[in-house]
Structure 1
Amino acid sequence: MEITIRKLIGGEAAPMHLLLEADPEEKAIQKYLHKSIVFLAEHQEQTAGVLVLVKRSSTSLEVMNLAVDEAFRGKGIAKKLLARAIIEGETGGYDFLEIGTGNSSLDQLALYQKCGFRMDGIISNYFLDHYDKPIYENGIPCLDMVRLKMSLT
């Protein structure tokens, strides 16, 4: 399956339906989307995945959202999008690439570590403090944010 990855161009809307799969509240997405770099993974003009990057500091870039359409999962698209994030970080002169996910996001935690991220910390009660509705994944309440980091130097 041929997948192309391209940067979203000005005026082009990000695929909110996909962004909501990784971040369940649109108001949370809107807080970072306007200051983000967005990449789309496409297959034959279909959006297969999305990656959202935000500058955290002069030395760090963060993956704020990463989602793959259900029809395209299991085909390595998330890994390709993360590889693009690494390239963006390296070419942008950043020292680190960061990502945060829920304590209950077991598949994502495995993926990020397979791609070279290392656990860097936990923000207790993050999802209780920042989201209006309870989140459950894999039968586990999503309470804490697990922070992961990758050195780009």
Structure 2
Amino acid sequence: MQINKLNANELKDEHISLLLLADPSEKLIREYCQSGIIFDMKNDNDLIGIMVLFPFGEDNIEIKNIAVDESYQGNGYGKQLLKRGIEFAKQNEYKRIRIGTGNSSLNQLGLYQKCGFRMVRIDKDFFIRNYEEEIVENGIQCRDMVILEMKL
């Protein structure tokens, strides 16, 4: 298993397809990848996962997108990508790392908290304001962004 840093110009269709699992807007994905820090996870030539980090403020960084191929989910790969993101943030002297997810993303909310993230706020109706199509996960309409943070 290898986690490699990529440049935006190295992104292929398979990367975008994977990012679309976590964010249904290809337009937004392409925008934040242009100035984001991208890592992919591969086993030989098989793409397993991807993560995009996005610096903001003086000493903060956000995990803008993290996704694991559906056939590899449930095997700890998401946790490995999160740990790599946290490690990168510490190595680059960020003071805080943030991640946001939908109110309906029950598995993700559990994973992020198990990795040490704490809920800090809710951006009400974020997904209603920013996405044209309704998102439903786990039988719940995704309306609100739950923001979690970790102090480093």
With the length of structure 1 as denominator, give the TM-score of the two structures: 0.95
Task: Assess, with a 3 A threshold, how the Cα gap between structure 1 residues 130 and 109 changes in structure 2: closer, same or farther.
Answer: same
Q: Which moved more, 1:141-150 or 1:72-81?
A: 72-81
Counterparts of 2:97 and 2:136, CA distance in 1: 26
Partner amino acid, structure 2, of 1:126: F
Question: For this pair of structures, how many residues does the alignment match?
Answer: 150
| 2:70 matched residue in structure 1 | 70
Q: Distance in 2 between matches of 1:38 and 1:20?
A: 15
Q: Is the 8 A contact 2:8 2:33 kept in 1?
A: no
Tell me which residue corresponds to 1:102: 102
The match for 2:9 is: 11
Q: Spell out structure 1 runs of 4+ moving beyond 4 A.
A: none
Amino acid in the other structure paired with 2:36: S
Are residues 1:138 and 2:138 paired? yes
Which residue of the partner structure matches residue 46 of structure 2? Answer: 46
Task: Report the AA paired with residue 13 of structure 1.
Answer: L
* Aligned sequence identity (%): 45
Which deviates more, 138-147 or 72-81? Answer: 72-81
Gaps of 5+ in 1: none
Shift of 1:13: 1.1
What secondary structure, in the 3-state scheme, does the structure 1 residue paired with 2:74 have?
coil
Paired residues of 2:86 and 2:97 also in contact (CA < 8 A):
yes
